[in-house]
């Protein structure tokens, strides 16, 4: 274990940069804050490069299955707190490598269930959607331009580690729908209004398209979908939160897949 004493240390600079602007390219460095995220990443097989540990919290190492190649750095608590982004910093952080997924990872199942995110910008919403996507047995998520990075620290925390296990790809609209078409996967668009009520049966293969929190799905993307569906709401609300709507649709699709 090596001790860091300067905020200008190159490793701390890497940590700050990865937290504030996660790189978009597969395999790039990502920053993890907190024991739970570090533990989830290790369990999921995410390769850790560097572990930052606040001095005096060495006991945390006993509960982490760290490979011998991981660099462990001891950092004074105020110095580590100044390098991370949470308001109540935890005594542990890490630098890791993004997993690299291919289209085959998402399309390999014979009847895949997928989620397509078209401009979901709120990190909490995206993290929750990824968590629900994994929970309901979907094969993966496709992020179209305008969607927040899945490696945003708030997204990772909201996903409760699901982002480490769920195959996730960023793709252009034309590439996304070309792959869906080639795999004979129909896409349905989630809409707040002017759409068919959500049916009882949502059989796979299927791609569920979720739009941005305010504007919804852009018309040019909705036009590429087989149909639009809406979740009937008898209460006096205009529309559902994007993460809530996605979770309901995923549950319905999962339920259809389990039905005899």
The CATH number covering residue 20 comes to 3.30.1330.30
75 and 126 in a common domain? no
112 and 92 in a common domain? no
202 and 128 in a common domain? yes
228 and 118 in a common domain? yes
72 and 140 in a common domain? no
243 and 123 in a common domain? yes
Query: Where a domain ends, among 65, 97, 129?
Result: 97
Question: Long-range contact list for 82-90, CB < 8 A, 24+ apart?
Answer: 82/7, 83/7, 83/12, 83/15, 83/16, 83/19, 83/52, 84/15, 84/19, 84/33, 85/19, 85/20, 85/33, 85/153, 86/33, 86/34, 86/153, 89/33, 90/33, 90/34, 90/35
Which residue segment(s) compose the domain that 185 sits in?
A: 103-258
| pLDDT per residue rounded down to tens, the chain (260 residues) | 889 988 899 999 999 999 888 877 777 899 999 999 999 999 999 989 999 999 999 999 998 989 889 999 999 999 999 999 887 888 999 999 998 899 999 998 778 999 999 999 999 999 999 999 999 999 999 999 999 999 999 999 999 999 999 999 999 999 999 999 999 999 999 998 888 888 888 888 999 999 988 889 999 999 999 999 999 888 887 778 999 999 999 999 998 877 55
Query: Where a domain ends, among 75, 97, 119?
Result: 97
111 and 127 in a common domain? yes
70-79 pLDDT tens trace: 999 999 999 9
Q: How many domains does the chain have?
A: 2
Query: Where a domain ends, among 68, 97, 126?
Result: 97
113 and 63 in a common domain? no
The token pair at 68 is: 């011998």
**249/153 Cα distance (integer angstroms):** 26
What pLDDT, on a 0 to 100 scale, did the predictor assign at position 260?
52
6-52 pLDDT tens trace: 889 999 999 999 988 887 777 789 999 999 999 999 999 998 999 99
233 and 141 in a common domain? yes
223 contacts: CB under 8 Å, gap ≥ 6: none
132 and 46 in a common domain? no
**10/119 Cα distance (integer angstroms):** 34
The helix/strand/coil state of 198 is: coil
89 and 155 in a common domain? no
252 and 191 in a common domain? yes
């Amino acid at each position: 274990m090596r001790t860091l004493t300067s905020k200008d240390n190159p490793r701390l600079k890497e940590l700050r940069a990865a937290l504030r602007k996660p790189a978009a390219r597969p395999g790039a460095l990502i920053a993890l804050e907190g024991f739970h995220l570090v533990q989830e990443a290790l369990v999921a097989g995410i390769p850790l490069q560097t572990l930052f540990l606040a001095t005096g919290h060495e006991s945390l190492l006993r509960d982490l299955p760290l490979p011998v190649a991981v660099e462990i750095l001891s950092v004074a608590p105020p110095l580590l707190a100044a390098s991370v982004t949470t308001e109540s910093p935890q005594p542990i952080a890490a630098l890791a490598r993004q997993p690299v997924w291919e289209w085959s990872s998402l399309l390999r199942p014979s009847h895949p269930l997928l989620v397509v995110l078209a401009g979901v910008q709120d990190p909490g919403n995206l993290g929750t959607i990824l968590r629900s996507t994994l929970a309901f047995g979907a094969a993966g998520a496709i992020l179209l331009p305008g969607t927040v990075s899945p490696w945003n620290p708030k997204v990772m925390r909201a996903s409760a580690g699901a982002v480490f296990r769920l195959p996730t790809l960023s793709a252009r609209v034309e590439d996304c729908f070309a792959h869906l078409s080639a795999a004979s996967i129909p896409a349905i668009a989630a809409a707040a209004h002017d759409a068919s009520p959500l049916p009882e049966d949502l059989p796979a293969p299927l791609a569920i398209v979720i739009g941005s929190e305010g504007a919804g799905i852009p018309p040019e993307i909705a036009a590429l979908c087989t149909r639009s569906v809406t979740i009937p709401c008898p209460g006096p609300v205009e529309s559902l939160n994007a993460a809530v709507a996605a979770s309901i649709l995923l549950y319905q699709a999962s339920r259809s897949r389990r039905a005899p």
